[in-house]
Chain A
């Protein structure tokens, strides 16, 4: 038993670690540039820097955000790449230098070329602002943004008098471009060169921060993501918790009654209705209900789309339970009806299965009263799978509650997720996915452990199968 538990929990941690590695790399690949966003947020809106000057501006911020370190514990790149390629900052620079390197295979030359572009730019910066220098700045911007060497050549090829003041730099660039365009990476330069980066890497610091509960700062409004989550989680818990409670309260008695009743045509009809209820998409019902409930001419005005902030301000359930519950009623109903329908038929099938067990027949022949038979002997056995079932449906519930929260404007996790997605706030999005998957994995494992703890028969077969 203990070994089984230990095994399960260790695989759980391993799979969560795998998820966090995947999410980390996804976050890194998200198309928004964190440093740029932060810089923009500070300079209030427009933030333009010449690509050749950008790296300096960029590096300071990147160091602050821990972005100047290798990504992972180890790295594997073609042998022609330098070990310290991660030190190149600024996405445009990385893109161009990488492309040039892949085409030519000579890192020293690529670096000299890029440095000569930067040197040229710095020389222009020092001279006074004339039309000529502005022209060359534009040309340089083009060169620095283009990995096509022939385009760089054409950018240099202008009339002699325009080249005259900077002739040294231009000659140097042209020379380097010529040398670069004759280079190709050798066959063996593509072989991987594995490298060990040690523990001082981006993933390690990100992961250790997350373990300590610091998931980062939202790039949208600069608030800690954890605070935002803490505000949102109670709402989702309320909606989901009430929905589960309501569903069980309806499903348990109904399922038992349906199992006890003799089989008839009516029972089949009811079963069909339950199936239909389960198949009824909640977001459809939600959007139809929303129209009914928010238009006063239909007589319903207990729900208001903007009523949430009121509730938030005035302290939720404890201070004003009735408006609170009324406000929650619609989303909870939408979440609950499908679940209730499913649980009813589930309860019905488990209860009738229990009723057909030999020990029930024995109890019946002993002459136990019906109430005692059903509630003392059958119910506990039928209830067990139901309770275990809850943990297993958590992922589906959370998925469903995203759309419901968006429809009814509930300030819960689902809406926060969609909002941060639409505003490209990747830190929030991915720490969110991580949190939800931790919760889900816990729920799944809890249901497994509950099942094993309560029913030794399952444990035996499982252990046989796993070993």
Chain B
């Protein structure tokens, strides 16, 4: 129960963090007119509303408002407070006017509010964790299910179709690659890709002629999993990131997902291997139910129990990886504010403990509660 409250709080901070820590006031009266700058941002961007020119200068903190209601933390993560430059401790005397302007977690070297950045960190960590784990989950369940359900002996194809499949896959990869090379704008390649897909479908529906052999799907997928697992996660990430021009959040998410799917796939494979030999599945197969339906409706729900546990642990791993990246200062676009990047500043200024303590505390609490959740799920499953 306490865990649920904690996760709800984290989710709240991640979603509404920008409305809690923002330099734009919630309500203000400026030159005789009332505005709600915090809420109006998207409307102004879309051109549905107009702001006075003074608002466009990003100088929100020093405007002569007639009336103003500020947010709880009146700083954006990027706001530079020129009055409190150079690592002001939370307990030190700060140049401020008003109680709410205090930097509760101090400031960093260039005068940014640590609390505002800390709140922003929730959004970054959660979006990277959730998105990468969902992608990894989909990929892992698909590949693991394929390997576990068919194994090495249950995916039968006529010999000619097996050879054609190999040939077709090589061609498919070739066309996709050429499509990327020409930025998908070349008509001939798109037509060729369509033809290739059509040929694939046609051959798929061709009759069974000659001997049938079993494709070792399990062996192939296990080989891929083994290869990816052999490279330690951080090395893999660090070796791949510099190859991308202008790496962004999206690339980091995709790469973490690509590293993390193997763990989920291994578990799903083992579960599918176990469940597919149970009697009710054999009964379902005898009844002539389609394989996909069996997997989706009858095996997967039973396998999910233990899959959720790995989700919790992989989520923790993804958040830790993101923190490592921020801390090492590699991969994330420059200027991204995250817990890792806040902690990185401690390396140059060891005395600024507040830059390490608060972000680290957030990481610790999230990791701890995820572990706790994993443990709870585990005891539920067993």
Name A's B-contacting residues (CB within 8 A).
11-12, 14-16, 18-19, 22-23, 26, 29-31, 76, 78, 102, 185, 187, 190-192, 275-276, 278-281, 283-284, 287-288, 290-291, 294-295, 395-396, 398-399, 402-403, 406-407, 417-418, 421-422, 424, 429-430, 432-433, 436-438, 440-441, 444, 465-467
Known contacts A102-B181, A281-B364, A417-B238, A190 near B188 by CB under 8 Å? yes
> A395 vs B343: C-alpha distance in the bound complex, in angstroms?
24
> A367 vs B320: C-alpha distance in the bound complex, in angstroms?
50
Q: List chain A residues, Cβ under 8 A from B343.
A: 283-284, 287
Interface of A is mostly: helix
> A198 vs B376: C-alpha distance in the bound complex, in angstroms?
57
Contact B368 A275 (CB under 8 A): yes
Contact of B356 among A275, A284, A466 (CB under 8 A): A284
- Distance (Å) between the CB of B318 and the closest chain A CB? 13
Contacting residues of chain B (196-220) with chain A, CB-CB under 8 angstroms:
218-219
16 inter-chain pairs at a CB distance below 8 angstroms, sorted by A residue, are: A18-B224, A18-B227, A19-B227, A23-B239, A30-B243, A187-B188, A283-B323, A284-B360, A291-B346, A295-B350, A396-B232, A429-B239, A437-B235, A444-B230, A465-B151, A466-B218
Known contacts A102-B181, A440-B230, A433 near B320 by CB under 8 Å? no
Contact A466 B234 (CB under 8 A): no
Contacting residues of chain B (221-253) with chain A, CB-CB under 8 angstroms:
222-224, 226-227, 229-236, 238-240, 242-243, 245
Indicate with 1 or 0, residue by residue over B338-382, a CB within 8 angstroms of chain A CB atoms.
000001001100110100110010011001101110010000000
Known contacts A284-B343, A395-B232, A465 near B242 by CB under 8 Å? no
Contact B181 A437 (CB under 8 A): no
Q: List chain A residues, Cβ under 8 A from B233.
A: 395, 399
Known contacts A102-B182, A418-B328, A16 near B235 by CB under 8 Å? no
Q: List chain B residues, Cβ under 8 A from A441.
A: 226, 230
Q: List chain B residues, Cβ under 8 A from A26.
A: 239-240, 243
- Distance (Å) between the CB of A449 and the closest chain B CB? 14
Cβ of B330 within 8 Å of any chain A Cβ, yes or no, is yes
Contact of B231 among A402, A422, A440 (CB under 8 A): A440
Contact A436 B350 (CB under 8 A): no
Cβ of B100 within 8 Å of any chain A Cβ, yes or no, is no
Q: List chain A residues, Cβ under 8 A from B94.
A: none
Cβ of B171 within 8 Å of any chain A Cβ, yes or no, is yes
> A399 vs B324: C-alpha distance in the bound complex, in angstroms?
10
- Distance (Å) between the CB of A409 and the closest chain B CB? 10
Which residue of chain B has the shortest Cβ distance to A192 in the bound complex? B174
Which residue of chain A has the shortest Cβ distance to B238 in the bound complex? A421
Q: List chain A residues, Cβ under 8 A from B372.
A: 275
> A395 vs B234: C-alpha distance in the bound complex, in angstroms?
9
- Distance (Å) between the CB of A75 and the closest chain B CB? 11
Known contacts A16-B230, A30-B243, A284-B343, A433 near B353 by CB under 8 Å? no
10 closest residue pairs by CB, A with B:
A284-B360, A441-B230, A279-B368, A15-B227, A279-B367, A291-B350, A395-B232, A399-B234, A437-B230, A437-B231
Q: List chain B residues, Cβ under 8 A from A22.
A: 227
Which residue of chain A has the shortest Cβ distance to B323 in the bound complex? A281
User: How many pairs of residues, A versus B, come closer than 8 Å at their CB atoms?
Assistant: 155
Contact A15 B189 (CB under 8 A): no
Q: List chain B residues, Cβ under 8 A from A190.
A: 178, 186, 188-189, 192
> A436 vs B226: C-alpha distance in the bound complex, in angstroms?
14
Contact B174 A283 (CB under 8 A): no
Cβ of B60 within 8 Å of any chain A Cβ, yes or no, is no
Contact of B235 among A18, A284, A432, A444 (CB under 8 A): A432
> A403 vs B170: C-alpha distance in the bound complex, in angstroms?
40
Q: List chain B residues, Cβ under 8 A from A402.
A: 234-235, 324
Cβ of B273 within 8 Å of any chain A Cβ, yes or no, is yes
Contact of B232 among A31, A440, A466 (CB under 8 A): A440
Contact A279 B327 (CB under 8 A): no
Contact B328 A291 (CB under 8 A): no
> A14 vs B225: C-alpha distance in the bound complex, in angstroms?
12
- Distance (Å) between the CB of B326 and the closest chain A CB? 11
Contact A280 B364 (CB under 8 A): yes
Q: List chain A residues, Cβ under 8 A from B347.
A: 287, 407
Q: List chain A residues, Cβ under 8 A from B356.
A: 284, 287-288, 291
- Distance (Å) between the CB of A445 and the closest chain B CB? 9
- Distance (Å) between the CB of B252 and the closest chain A CB? 16
Q: List chain B residues, Cβ under 8 A from A30.
A: 242-243
Contact A406 B360 (CB under 8 A): no
Q: List chain B residues, Cβ under 8 A from A440.
A: 229-232
Cβ of B152 within 8 Å of any chain A Cβ, yes or no, is yes
Residue among B219, B226, B330, B375 with max Cβ neighbours from chain A (10 Å): B226
- Distance (Å) between the CB of B42 and the closest chain A CB? 36
Which residue of chain A has the shortest Cβ distance to B170 in the bound complex? A76
Q: List chain A residues, Cβ under 8 A from B323.
A: 281, 283
**Apart from the given pairs A31-B243, A403-B324, 19 other A-B contacts in the complex at a CB distance below 8 Å:** A15-B227, A15-B230, A18-B227, A19-B227, A19-B231, A29-B243, A102-B181, A190-B189, A276-B368, A279-B370, A280-B364, A294-B350, A402-B234, A402-B324, A417-B238, A424-B242, A440-B231, A444-B229, A466-B218
- Distance (Å) between the CB of A412 and the closest chain B CB? 13
Which residue of chain B has the shortest Cβ distance to A14 in the bound complex? B223
Q: List chain A residues, Cβ under 8 A from B218.
A: 466
Q: List chain A residues, Cβ under 8 A from B171.
A: 192
Q: List chain B residues, Cβ under 8 A from A295.
A: 350-351
Residue among B151, B227, B230, B242 with max Cβ neighbours from chain A (10 Å): B230
Contact B236 A433 (CB under 8 A): yes
Q: List chain A residues, Cβ under 8 A from B351.
A: 291, 295
Contact B223 A11 (CB under 8 A): yes
> A441 vs B323: C-alpha distance in the bound complex, in angstroms?
26
Residue among A190, A438, A444 with max Cβ neighbours from chain B (10 Å): A190
- Distance (Å) between the CB of B258 and the closest chain A CB? 12
> A183 vs B324: C-alpha distance in the bound complex, in angstroms?
51
Q: List chain B residues, Cβ under 8 A from A422.
A: 330
Q: List chain A residues, Cβ under 8 A from B245.
A: 31
